[in-house]
Chains A and B, each alone.
Chain A
Amino acid sequence: MNNTINIALLLTLLLLGLALPGEAHALQVHGEPEGLYVHQMAHLHYIFALGYFFWDIRRTSFTGRGWRYLQMFCVLMACWNALAFMGHLAGAYLDPGALLHTECYLQTRLLSPFTLNKYLYFITKLDHLIYVPALFFLFLGLRSFYHSVAKSTQGGGQ
């Protein structure tokens, strides 16, 4: 009898709790800078992953041109990540007035005086100069793998 009363009491309290939440703060609010932080952390994560990948290729002692291209990809891509990370920081700290916007977007200028942050901002905007070679090495590596496998397959087939 006492058990039945206790169970009924607990269920009543649970229903009241769900119906009247009040200031519970169950969900955390994500502010604006969080996106940048996540992105920056993703860059760091990417650098770590590339380093790990690079180390693992060396560890497994895979030889051949393809693996060397792949290692070059890792190095260049890690460099690009570092550059991008700095570029994002430079962009975040750049005064909005440092860029002169005109009618034509292509005529946008970075105004003096030039600070380290401005130089950094400008240079990191040219990140594709690293990113493209990185992908080019990835392409070379995979092409090299493909040709060597195709050659060995043909050789085996013969």
Chain B
Amino acid sequence: MNGFPMLPTIIVDIAGSAANILFSFLSLWYAFRLTRLKPENFLWGYLFYVTLAITAFAISRAVGHIAKEAFYIAGKADLWQAIAPYSGGVNTLCMISVAAVMIFYHKGVQAYEAIEQEAAKLKQSKIRLTQAARELRELNLSLEDKVDERTAELSKSEKKFRHLFTASKDMVFFSDRNHTVQDMNASGSEMLGYSRHETSLLTLPDVFRHEGDVSVYAKMLQLDGYIRDLESEFKKKDGSTIYVLISATALHDEQGQIIGSECIAKDLTRLKTMMEQLVSSEKMATVGQMAAGIAHEINTPLGIILGYAQLMMDDFDKESETYQNLEVIERQTQASRKIVADLLKYSRQSGSARVSVDLNEIIEDAVAITEHSLNLSHIKVTLELAADLPPIIGDPEKLRQVVVNLINNAHHAMEQCEEGGQLLLRTRHDRAAGKVIAEVRDTGHGIPEHIKARIFDPFFTTKPVGKGTGLGLSVSYGIIQEHGGTIEIESPVADPDKTLRQGTLFRLVLPMVEETAAIQE
């Protein structure tokens, strides 16, 4: 029998169909697991549906083929003929479905790519945002650190300059454009005698002694922007004056307009006083040298004149006119010799003793000498002598002369008063300073301010001609200086309750024994 057996095709058909079912199910299983792994991934979802359609097609086809072969083998071909159209229809339907799903792949992938691109953009944006946020956070942290660092630096700097401001021994103040003092350090308040609260109410015209100085201050700042070493005078709360050296800088706003000034004022009062004293000392030293020379030259002829006058007086009757004339010569010559002696004392040409001296005794002696004349002028003398006054080293004669001079000056100041006056002599011991102090206070007319600086000048006197030589205080000044002490003046005199009273107070400040000894050495 010619022909070719169809058995191989039947075997391949059955075995292949079974393999189809197996592989399609395995494929579907992996596709399903993929969707479980990445449920949000479009591609795996799509592949699952493709595989599902392929599986459906493969199964419909494989089942159909196996059924056909089974029916034919079983000899039920007619039964298969009845089922075949349905099997073929399903098969065709599944095949069309598979093809349709595959065709949608392109659009699906396009959509997926678009979504992926958007997602990538979003991801990039997120990364950039995260990075920007991190940078911002770092910047913020860095900024906070920098702010902390700068704040600490500023605080340190502020503390430093605040300390400089508060601890400065010079006056430091800030003023605004209206010349109102905004802030003044403690030294400034102390220098002017105001409380810290009061300084905030001050203006520059209140501070400057002369109103014109405020204009000069403002004008210099306007012109140069700063002031260097301007000498001026400030007015204290009690009305007294302090001499200051000013350095100031103008403060500007952003437009360059002056909004105020910062000023440092150094108190020169003490320096100025010292300078004046130095000038006075120099002046007195010069005058002293000159006076000493003159006195030395005059002293000898005066002695001869006096001697001859006294010799001639022995030759004439006391009632005679010549005798009386000789008396005038003798008296005037002696007066001249006294002046010469004073000049010599002033110029320290005369020798000095150095013994232990009780200042109380000196004062009592001086009062005893002058008491009579003081009583005649109705001047009440009061002594307040410290009982525990330590001795000083010095020349008792010269010291007595100083006290007598001061009492005489007080007498002259009070003798014009109708109701007399009061003279107070007081001694005390300043243990802390190691000084012995003697005060001579009167209730006279006082010393005008403008001549205070000149009263120790040689030959300076306010007394009428013939009444004073102008050497008394000069000599006293020299003696006290020789003893290592100082003379201070108060006129008017400030009471302990700060009340100012008419009169003058001379204060002799002398060193105690130990200190005196040191000076002598």
Contact = CB atoms under 8 A, between A and B. Distances in A.
Chains A and B are bound partners? yes
Interface of A: 35, 38-39, 42-43, 45-46, 48-50, 52-53, 56, 60, 99-100, 105-112, 114, 122, 125-129, 131-132, 135-136, 138-139, 142-143, 145-146, 149-150, 153
B60 interface: no
A139 B27 contact: yes
Interface of B: 1-10, 12-13, 15-17, 19-20, 23-24, 26-27, 30-31, 33-34, 37-38, 44, 47, 51, 54, 58, 72-73, 75, 77, 85, 88-89, 91-92, 95-96, 98-100, 102-103, 105-106, 109, 113
Given A142-B34, A142-B47, A52 B106 contact: yes
14 contacts: A35-B85, A35-B88, A39-B95, A53-B103, A53-B105, A105-B73, A106-B73, A107-B7, A108-B7, A108-B10, A109-B4, A132-B23, A135-B24, A153-B38
| Prevailing SS type, chain B contact patch | helix
Nearest to A60: B109
A130 B241 CA distance: 125
Given A107-B7, A138-B23, A35 B89 contact: yes
B85 A42 contact: no
Nearest to B13: A128
B109 to A, nearest CB: 6
A45 B244 CA distance: 113
A129 B20 CA distance: 11
Given A43-B95, A52-B106, A145-B44, A109 B33 contact: no
A109 to B, nearest CB: 4
Contacts of B85: 35
B105 A56 contact: yes
A149 B102 contact: no
B51 A138 contact: yes
Given A42-B96, A135-B19, A49 B102 contact: yes
A115 B75 CA distance: 28
A123 B72 CA distance: 20
Contact of A42 (B5, B12, B38, B95): B95
Given A128-B15, A149-B38, A122 B4 contact: yes
Given A107-B7, A114-B4, A49 B34 contact: no
Residue in A49, A110, A122 with the greatest tally of chain B CB atoms within 10 Å: A49
B215 to A, nearest CB: 84
A127 B17 CA distance: 10
Contacts of B12: 125-126, 128-129
Contacts of B1: 100, 109
B92 A42 contact: yes
Contacts of A122: 4, 6, 9
A35 B44 CA distance: 34
B6 A125 contact: yes
